[in-house]
Structure 1
Amino acid sequence: MAAHGEIGPMPDCAIFADTGWEPRAVYEHLGRLRDALPFPVHVVSAGDIRSDAIAKVNTTGQRFAAIPWFVRSPRGKDGIGRRQCTKEYKLEPIRRKASELINGKRRRGAVEMWVGISLDEAWRMKPSRRQYIVNRWPLLERQMRQRDCEAVLARFGWKAPKSACIGCPFHDDAMWRDLRDNAPEEFADACEVDRIIRHQPGIRGEQFMHRSRVPLDQVDLSTAAERGQPDLFLNECEGMCGV
């Protein structure tokens, strides 16, 4: 919309934080964007989150996993790990690039950061914690929901893939089914990592990628309809948050 003058002013650039573990469709979409947009798309990274998860380290080299796996203790008590992935692999690299683009001159309000949160996720709208960055939410200004975003993309001949790490523990079953049915190699990769994280040094209990705390390749991902039950609630992840 910015490229076509429907949201202004024209951005100086876009920034994509690459975790190294996005689906292939996301990287293909990124390539199209870099070719089509009239402003540069900078790609930044804090490392390969998949490799770090297997090594049980975070971006600082500390020995704890940044991804909040689901945990079951030896006594059968359920828990969840610390969530640091968004901050370490997305927000911090983007902030560093923004600071670089203003040559480190972090005066108040030096950067206007557009955040693509739609009305469906308005609860995620938060002010920046950096005084030199002012957040703006163009989609919320226009009261746009995900379906409105999809309609705009279709008008321009685009369709955006769902963006999230392949092994994100916050996938719902619809996302896992989509990965299993449309990207079987990526689903197999998630299953492999799920097996690797099960018993890692320093973790009391077992870790799982799926919220059911069942090995991913054994989870029943069938729909309610497939199980002969009415689907009364559509509580599906929209898959558009970009994490």
Structure 2
Amino acid sequence: MSIQLRRNFVPNNRRLQVVSSGGGTQSVCMVVLIYLGALPKPDLIVMADTEREASNVFEYHEKYVKPLCDEIGLEYVVIKKSDWVKNDITLASDDDAVLPGFFTEYNGRTPKGDLGKQPGYCSSHWKVEPIRKYLNNRFGERELTKRGVDFWIGMSFDERSRVKYPAGKWQKRYPLFEAEILREQAIQIVKDFGLPEPPRSACWMCPNRHDDEWVWMRENVPEDFEQACKFEKQLQAGFDWLYLHKSGVPIGEVIFTSKPKQVDIFDQFCDTGMCFV
């Protein structure tokens, strides 16, 4: 299989080139394109394990993605969040600062009876921060400050509003966006290569799930759904105004209403743009 990109992606090899894998469709597409030589080979791939990732995501990567990286000598590192940061559901420095964007009664209800939603910062503290600390520890903070690091993020061409280019030591690059690859094209590239469509990367307790995704989890990965039910009860022991579902009903009691459809991942994305890709 050969792929010619519409526009070439050219990295600055004076800087450390790191694929920051979110574990989802676009991240898998980047690996396929690297394997095929359509994208240049980075220095390494790093994926942060939030320790709440949906079971099928790591199963997919272990079976399909890691062997491709091993074959071309591309290091693929998975780091545990808890090895690098103390932040969990709340900030380590503030037990009242809840990081995931759960649904909350504090904002009142919409005319349809749905709860409002609080901002989500878990992606920044569970993924970005651990990866930066890992890289500083491995390569040396002084050396990386001097050299600089480019994070390859899997935003596609239809995600313009999520693409940002902050300057400084830690910079973001978007190979799929810069090559003008749409998300549906990324999925097709993976499928044409011969791999199954990757599961969406999301924690099993992530509130950014549509009803059909909750139903799929309940029916196909019941252990993850059970974990979500137990988690919500534990969460509400300290924050009884927070819920996993917009209805404000415990997730195990929700009567899901949506019908199977193409999931739109862009209507409730995280603030850092790290999740789902």
Smaller-chain TM-score range? 0.7 to 0.9
Aligned to 2:101: 68
Quote how far apart the aligned CAs of 1:198 are: 2.3
Distance 2:145 2:107 in 1: 51
Aligned to 1:242: 276
Quote how far apart the aligned CAs of 1:185 are: 1.7
1:170 to 193, 208, 232: 208
Is the 1:166–1:190 Cα contact (8 Å) retained in structure 2?
Answer: yes
Q: What is the one-letter code of the residue matched to 1:113?
A: F
Aligned to 2:250: 215
Quote how far apart the aligned CAs of 1:46 are: 2.4
**TM-score normalised according to structure 2 size:** 0.71
Quote how far apart the aligned CAs of 1:99 are: 2.8
Distance 1:76 1:147 in 2: 34
Bigger share in strand: 2
Is the 2:46–2:76 Cα contact (8 Å) retained in structure 1?
Answer: yes
Quote how far apart the aligned CAs of 1:81 are: 4.0
Sequence identity, in percent?
Answer: 25
1:93 to 110, 122, 130: 130
Is 1:40 matched with 2:75?
Answer: yes
Quote how far apart the aligned CAs of 1:82 are: 4.9
Aligned to 1:28: 59
Distance 2:195 2:247 in 1: 35
Is 1:189 matched with 2:224?
Answer: no
Aligned to 2:156: 118
Q: How many aligned positions are there?
A: 226
Distance 1:52 1:88 in 2: 8
The residue correspondences of 1:221-236 to structure 2 (distance < 5 A) are: 221-223=256-258, 236=264
Q: What is the one-letter code of the residue matched to 1:135?
A: K
Quote how far apart the aligned CAs of 1:61 are: 5.0
Higher RCO (Cα < 8 Å, 6 or more apart): 2
Is the 1:17–1:43 Cα contact (8 Å) retained in structure 2?
Answer: yes
Distance 1:83 1:190 in 2: 17
Distance 1:241 1:75 in 2: 27
* Stretches of 4+ aligned residues off by more than 6 angstroms: 74-77
Distance 1:165 1:116 in 2: 18
Distance 1:120 1:177 in 2: 27
Q: What is the one-letter code of the residue matched to 2:79?
A: V
Quote how far apart the aligned CAs of 1:206 are: 2.0
**TM-score normalised according to structure 1 size:** 0.80
Render the CA deviation track for 1:23-53: whole Å, top value 9, x for unaligned. 111111232322320311111232299x943
RMSD: 3.0
1:133 to 167, 170, 177: 170
Greater shift after overlay, 71-80 or 157-166?
A: 71-80
Q: What is the one-letter code of the residue matched to 2:217?
A: L
Q: 1:241 to 1:121 in 2, by over 3 A?
A: farther
Is 1:19 matched with 2:41?
Answer: no
Aligned to 1:4: 36
Quote how far apart the aligned CAs of 1:5 are: 0.6
Render the CA deviation track for 1:120-162: whole Å, top value 9, x for unaligned. 3221111246x11221111112221221111111122223111
Aligned to 2:182: 145
Segments of 5+ residues of structure 2 without an aligned counterpart are 1-32
Quote how far apart the aligned CAs of 1:79 are: 4.6
Greater shift after overlay, 66-75 or 34-43?
A: 66-75
Q: What is the one-letter code of the residue matched to 1:98?
A: L
Q: What is the one-letter code of the residue matched to 2:242?
A: Q
Segments of 5+ residues of structure 1 without an aligned counterpart are 226-230
SS of structure 2 residue aligned to 1:120: coil
